[in-house]
Structure formats: structure tokens, C-alpha cells
A and B are shown apart, each in its own frame.
Chain A
């Protein structure tokens, strides 16, 4: 049973426009959420994170929004660039000393020039 769900396997956007990647979770005990980006034949690279006590975190072109009541988070990339083309994974951590990252299936983003 997927506790972290990324329901869109792929997304295509034009360069310069906004990319919005969505993630839903079922476990209300998750209290920290992360987005990782993965290129082929490389390991995942950390992008941005958010604590459950916040509803927004911004880092340059990347912003993550968290809606706890809906158990939903989203990653916004603006403006999108061709180098952003990759697979994006949403991951979650439980409270306390739990260090297991629980991952979604990923969304493949293609940014077209």
C-alpha cells in the first residue's frame, strides 16, 4: 500500500513556464517531506524540504507547498528550464527517530525548449 503517492507518472511543460508536481500521502504521522530529483544513472539529489509545521518553503526557483488537512504537497518550479528535465520523487519521514524515507513512484518531468 503506497503511503506516498505521485499520481502523475509524467509531465511536459514549455521552457519558462511553471511546472507543478503533486504528491499525496496517507500517513498522518509523517512530519517532514522532501523532494529529490533524479537523472538517469545517477542517485537522487536533494532539492527542497518542508516541515509539517510550515505550509510553504521557497529556495530560488523551487517552492514546496504543504496542505496538511488535505495530506497534499506540491513542488512548483518557476521558470522551468530544460535542465530541470528529470524524475522527481516526493519522500516523507515519520516523527521522532524514524530515519526511513518513504518514497513515491516519481514523476518524469520534461521541459521543452
Chain B
């Protein structure tokens, strides 16, 4: 079956621009997560959705970052007024439910480069 997919795979933008990153979770998975991974680091939690609602957005670094999941499936991570420090690989994961031990399955990531 299809895994988690993310588009685009690469995004290059200029400082100050707005970007949207899309995640399609595994069909039937109710929980969806966003992480970002900077070079040489482990992934860093950003936000977690259970259904349509953000259950935990404590990892969003500031109010330039926002994520939505309007129909409980596809999610979009939105970054306003991008900064060079936002350059990273943005990873999306999904899990079957919100049970704490449910495995999180990851997509290939979107590599964002802010010039």
C-alpha cells in the first residue's frame, strides 16, 4: 500500500517568501505529525494532529509557522516570511491512532532551502 507522501520533494525560496509544504498520510491513519530535521541533527517535533485538530503544537518555533488538516487527511505546513534558519528537511509522519505506542511512519521529507 501507499506510504506517507510529501510534496514537493525540494523547495528553494527566497528570504521573506511564503511556502506551503504538503503531506498525504497513509490512508486510514488518524494521527499526523510534522517534524523538521536540520543538518547533523535528529528530527525535532513541530506539531501533532489527531483528526482535524492540532492536539499539540508546542514544537512550532514561532507564529510564522502554521499547519492545518481541514478534512482529517492531507495536511499543509505553512511558513510565512521565511528566514535562512528555516532551511531544513521537513518530515511528516502518520500513525493509525493516537495510542502512544502506535508506530509513526514517515514520508521522505521536503528539503526546504531559503536563500
Interface residues of A (CB under 8 A from B): 4, 32, 34, 36, 41-46, 49, 51, 89, 91, 93, 95-106
Contacts of A102 in B (CB 8 A): 45
Contacts of B43 in A (CB 8 A): 44, 89, 101, 103
- With A32-B100, A41-B108, A43-B91 in contact, do A99 and B40 touch (Cβ < 8 Å)? no
Instruction: Answer yes or no: B115 CB below 8 A from chain A CBs.
Output: no
Contacts of A32 in B (CB 8 A): 100-101
A97 to B48, CA, bound (A): 11
Q: How far is the CB of A45 from chain B (nearest CB, A)?
A: 7
Q: How far is the CB of A25 from chain B (nearest CB, A)?
A: 13
Q: How far is the CB of B16 from chain A (nearest CB, A)?
A: 28
Could you jot down 18 A-B contacts, CB within 8 Å? A4-B42, A32-B100, A41-B108, A43-B107, A43-B108, A44-B106, A46-B103, A46-B105, A49-B103, A95-B100, A97-B100, A98-B56, A99-B31, A100-B45, A104-B42, A105-B40, A105-B41, A105-B42
Contacts of A89 in B (CB 8 A): 42-43
Interface residues on B, range: 20 to 34
Contact with A along B16-46 (1 / 0, CB 8 A): 0000000000000001010100001111110
Contacts of A91 in B (CB 8 A): 42
Of all A-B residue pairs in the complex, the 3 with the closest CB atoms, nearest first, are: A103-B42, A43-B106, A100-B45
A46 to B100, CA, bound (A): 15
Q: How far is the CB of B104 from chain A (nearest CB, A)?
A: 7
A97 to B107, CA, bound (A): 23
Contacts of B107 in A (CB 8 A): 43
Does B42 contact A42, Cβ atoms closer than 8 Å? no
A95 to B100, CA, bound (A): 8
A37 to B62, CA, bound (A): 30
Does B42 contact A43, Cβ atoms closer than 8 Å? no
Contacts of B44 in A (CB 8 A): 103
